[in-house]
A and B are shown apart, each in its own frame.
Chain A
Amino acid sequence: MSAPNKSYDPVEVEALKPEAIDRARDEALAAVAAAGDLEALREVKAAHAGDRSPLALANREIGALPPHAKAEAGKRVGQARGAVSKALKARQEELERERDERVLVEEAVDVTLPYDRRPAGARHPLTTLSERIEDVFVAMGYEVAEGPEVEAEWFNFDALNLGPDHPARTMQDTFFVRGRDGGSDDDASGVVLRTHTSPVQIRSLLGRELPVYVICPGRVYRTDELDATHTPVFGQVELLAIDEGLTMADLKGTLDHMVSALFGEGLGTRLRPSYFPFTEPSAEMDMVCFVCRGASVGDPDNPCRTCSSEGWIELGGCGMVNPRVLTACGVDPDKYSGFAFGFGIERMLMFRHNVEDMRDMVEGDVRFTQPFGMEI
Chain B
Amino acid sequence: MRAPLSWLREYVELPASETGRDVAARLIAAGLEVETVERTGAGLKGPLVVGQVLAIEELTEFKKPIRYCQVDVGRGPDDPQNLICGATNFAVGDKVVVVLPGAELPGGFKISARKTYGHVSEGMICSERELGMGEDHGGILVLPPEHPVGTDAIELLELVDEVLDIAVTPDRGYCLSMRGIARETATAYGVPLRDPALLDVPAPNAHGHPVRVADRLGCDRFTARTVTGLRPEAQSPIWLKRRLQKAGMRPVSLPVDITNYVMLELGQPLHAYDRARIEGAIGVRRAEDGEKLTTLDGTKRVLAPGDLVITDDRGPIGLAGVMGGANTEIADADGAAQQTTDVVIEAAHFDPVSVARTARRHKLSSEASRRFERGVDPEAASAAAQRTVDLLVLLAGGTAEPGVTEITTPSGPHTVRIAADHPDKVAGVSYGRETVVRRLQQVGCDVYGGTGQDEQLTVTVPSWRPDLTDPNDLAEEVVRLEGYENLPSTLPRPLPGRGLTERQRLHRRVGRALAGAGYVEALSYPFVGDAVFDALGLEAGDPRRRTVQLVNPLSDEEPGLRTTLLPGLLAALRRNDGRGSHDLALFETGLVFLPTGTETVAERLPVTQRPTQEQLSSLDAALPEQPRHLAVVLAGARERAGWWGEGRPADWADAIEAARTVAAEAGVELTLESASFTPWHPGRCAALHVRLDGERVLAGHAGELHPRAVKALGLPERTCAMELDLDLLERAAAGPVRGPHVSTFPVATQDVALVVDASVPAAEVESALRAGAGELLESLRLFDVFTGEQLGEGRKSLAYALRFRAPDRTLKAEEASAARDAAVAEAVERTGAVLRGA
Instruction: Name which of B229-237, B285-293, B392-400, B519-527 contacts chain A.
Output: B519-527
Do A167 and B373 contact each other (CB < 8 Å), given the known contacts A138-B500, A154-B603, A158-B607? yes
Other-chain residue from A118, A154, A320, A374 in contact with B512 (beta carbon distance below 8 A): A374
Q: Do A273 and B425 form a contact, CB below 8 Å, given A171-B170, A243-B494, A280-B470? A: no
Q: How far is the CB of A310 from chain B (nearest CB, A)?
A: 11
Query: How many angstroms from the CA of A331 to the CA of B623 in the assembled complex?
Result: 25
Asked if B604 contacts A154 (CB within 8 A), the reply is yes
Question: Given A191-B602, A252-B489, A365-B575 in contact, is the A122-B515 Cβ separation under 8 Å?
Answer: yes
Tell me which residues across on chain A come within 8 A of B593, comparing CB atoms. 149-150
Interface flags, A279-298, vs B, CB<8A=1, else 0: 01111100000000000000
Q: Is B554 touching A148 in the complex (CB atoms < 8 A)?
A: no
B199 at the interface (CB under 8 A from A): no
What residues of A have a CB within 8 angstroms of the CB of B581 in the complex?
365-367
Q: Which residue of A lies closest to B171 (CB)?
A: A275
Distance of B260 from chain A, by nearest CB (Å): 22
Once the chains bind, are A177 and B551 in contact (CB under 8 Å)?
A: yes
Which residue of B427, B473, B514 contacts A247 across the interface (Cβ within 8 Å)? B427
Chain A proximity mask over B226-262: 1 for CB below 8 Å, otherwise 0: 0000000000000000000000000000000000000
Stretch at the interface among A23-31, A84-92, A94-102, A109-117: A109-117
Those of B709-766 within 8 Å (CB) of chain A: none
Centre residue among A116, A185, A252 by max chain B CB count within 10 A? A252
Complex contact A176–B552 (CB within 8 A): yes
**A263 located at the interface, meaning its Cβ lies under 8 Å from any Cβ of chain B in the complex:** no
Whether A178 lies near B549 (C-beta < 8 A) is yes
Is B550 an interface residue, CB under 8 A from the partner?
A: yes
The A211-227 residues at the B interface (CB cut-off 8 A) are: 211, 213, 219, 223, 225
Assess the A327–B609 pair: CB atoms within 8 A.
Answer: yes
A-B CB contacts (within 8 Å), total count: 311
Are B472 and A127 in contact (CB-based, < 8 A)? Answer: no
Do B356 and A248 have beta carbons less than 8 Å apart?
Answer: no
Bound Cα distance from A280 to B426, whole angstroms: 9
Q: Does A233 contact B (CB under 8 A)?
A: yes
Which residue of chain A lies nearest to B526 when distances are taken between CB atoms in the complex?
A: A233
8 A Cβ contacts from A190-246 to B: 190-191, 193, 206, 211, 213, 219, 223, 225, 232-233, 241, 243, 245-246
Interface of B is mostly: loop
Contact status B622-A152, CB under 8 Å: yes
> Are B427 and A189 within 8 A (Cβ)?
no
Determine the distance from Cα of A211 to Cα of B515 in the docked complex, in whole angstroms: 37
Partner of A323, one of B472, B517, B603: B472
Contact with A along B480-506 (1 / 0, CB 8 A): 100011011111111111111100100
Is B489 in contact with A280, judged by CB distance below 8 angstroms? no
Answer whether residue A324 sits at the interface, using C-beta atoms and an 8 A cutoff: yes
Q: Nearest A residue to B516 by beta-carbon distance? A: A121
Nearest Cβ on chain B to A79's Cβ, whole angstroms: 49
CB–CB B524/A364 < 8 A = yes
> Residue on B with the closest CB to A147?
B626
- B172 in the interface (beta carbon within 8 A): yes
Knowing A138-B499, A170-B356, A171-B170, say if A124 contacts B523 (CB, 8 Å). yes
Contacts of A166 in B (CB 8 A): 170
A257 to B644, CA, bound (A): 50
Report the bound CA distance from A176 to B515 in whole Å: 35
Q: How far is the CA of A246 from the CA of B489 in the complex (A)?
A: 12
Question: Which positions 327-359 of chain B face chain A at CB distance < 8 Å?
Answer: 352-353, 356-357
Question: Of all chain A residues, which has the CB nearest B479?
Answer: A281
Q: How far is the CA of A149 from the CA of B518 in the complex (A)?
A: 29
Whether A249 and B470, one on each chain, are in contact in the complex, defined by CB atoms closer than 8 angstroms, is no
Knowing A179-B601, A365-B579, A367-B581 are in contact, say whether A324-B518 is a contact too (CB < 8 A). Answer: no
**CA of A32 to CA of B500 in the docked complex: distance in angstroms?**
73
- Would you call B523 and A248 a contact (CB within 8 A)? no
Given contacts A126-B523, A149-B626, A155-B619, contact A257 B353 (CB under 8 A): no
Task: Tell whether A189 pairs with B622 under 8 Å between CB atoms, given A154-B604, A252-B488, A366-B576.
Answer: yes
Chain B residues near A144 (CB, 8 Å)?
Answer: 500-501, 504
Chain A residues lying within 8 Å of B493, measured Cβ to Cβ, are: 141
Bitwise interface map of A from 50 to 86 toward B, beta carbon under 8 Å scored 1, else 0: 0000000000000000000000000000000000000
Q: Which of A124, A142, A143, A280 contacts B473 (CB 8 A)?
A: A280
Alpha-carbon distance between A103 and B651 when the two chains are bound, in angstroms: 41
Give min CB distance, A240 to chain B, whole Å.
11
Decide if A250 touches B623 in the complex (CB within 8 Å): no
Please state if B585 and A191 are interface contacts (CB–CB under 8 Å).
no
Known: A140-B494, A324-B607. A206 touches B616 (CB 8 A): yes
Does B362 make an interface contact (CB < 8 A)?
A: no
Chain B residues with Cβ below 8 Å from A152 are: 602, 619-620, 622-623
Secondary structure dominating the interface of A: mixed
Decide if A121 touches B585 in the complex (CB within 8 Å): yes
Nearest A residue to B355 via CB reads: A165
Bound Cα distance from A185 to B609, whole angstroms: 28
B477 to chain A, nearest CB (A): 9
Digit string of B580-600 for contact with A (CB within 8 Å is 1, else 0)? 010111100011010101010
A247–B475 CA distance with the chains assembled, in angstroms: 12
Q: Which of B633-666 contact A (CB under 8 A)?
A: 638-640, 642-644, 647
A201 smallest CB distance to B (angstroms): 14
- The reply to whether the CB of B33 lies closer than 8 angstroms to some CB of chain A is yes
Indicate if the CB atoms of A271 and B492 lie closer than 8 Å.
Answer: no
Highest count of chain A CB atoms <10 Å: which of B511, B579, B597: B511
Q: Does A104 contact B (CB under 8 A)?
A: no
Q: Give the complex CA separation of A189 and B549 in angstroms.
A: 11
Q: Is A108 an interface residue (CB 8 A)?
A: no
Is the pair B519, A121 in contact by a Cβ cutoff of 8 Å?
Answer: yes
For the complex, is B374 an interface residue (Cβ under 8 Å from A)?
yes
Is A351 interfacial (CB-CB < 8 Å)? no
Distance (Å) between the CB of B269 and the closest chain A CB? Answer: 16
Bound: A141/B599 CA distance, A: 37
Which A130-164 residues have C-beta < 8 A from chain B? 131, 134, 138, 140-144, 146, 148-155, 158-159, 161, 163-164
A191 touches B170 (CB 8 A): no
* B28 partner residues in chain A, CB cutoff 8 A: 272
B contact residues around A184 at 8 Å (CB) = 551
B17: chain A residues within 8 A (beta carbon): none
Q: How far is the CA of A273 from the CA of B548 in the complex (A)?
A: 39
Instruction: Give complex CA distance A253, B492 in Å.
Output: 8
Asked if A3 is at the interface of the complex by the 8 Å CB criterion, the answer is: no
**Given A123-B511, A144-B500, A320-B426: A177 in contact with B521 (beta carbons within 8 A):** no
Query: Shortest beta-carbon distance, A328 to chain B, in Å?
Result: 4
The verdict on B429 contacting chain A, using a C-beta distance below 8 Å, is: yes
Chain B neighbourhood of A271, CB < 8 A: 484-485, 487
Whether, in the assembled complex, A40 has its beta carbon less than 8 Å from a beta carbon of chain B, the answer is no
Contact present for B492 and A254 (CB under 8 Å): yes
Q: Say yes or no: B522 contacts A364, CB within 8 Å.
A: yes
CA distance A189 to B622 in the complex (A): 8
Distance in angstroms between the alpha carbons of A186 and B581 in the assembled complex: 42
**Would you list the 6 A-B pairs with minimal beta carbon distance, nearest first?**
A330-B610, A273-B31, A247-B428, A364-B522, A190-B602, A364-B572
- Given contacts A245-B425, A364-B522, A373-B515, 7 further A-B pairs with CB under 8 A are A116-B642, A138-B499, A152-B620, A176-B552, A185-B551, A361-B523, A366-B584
Residues of chain B touching chain A, judged by Cβ–Cβ distance below 8 Å, are: 28-31, 33, 169-172, 352-353, 356-357, 360, 373-374, 425-429, 470-473, 475-476, 479-480, 484-485, 487-501, 504, 508, 511-512, 514-526, 548-554, 561, 569, 572, 575-576, 579, 581, 583-586, 590-591, 593, 595, 597, 599, 601-605, 607-611, 616, 619-620, 622-624, 626, 638-640, 642-644, 647
A-B contact pairs, 15 of them (CB 8 A): A118-B639, A119-B640, A121-B514, A127-B511, A150-B623, A154-B602, A158-B605, A175-B551, A188-B601, A248-B426, A273-B476, A280-B476, A281-B475, A282-B476, A364-B569
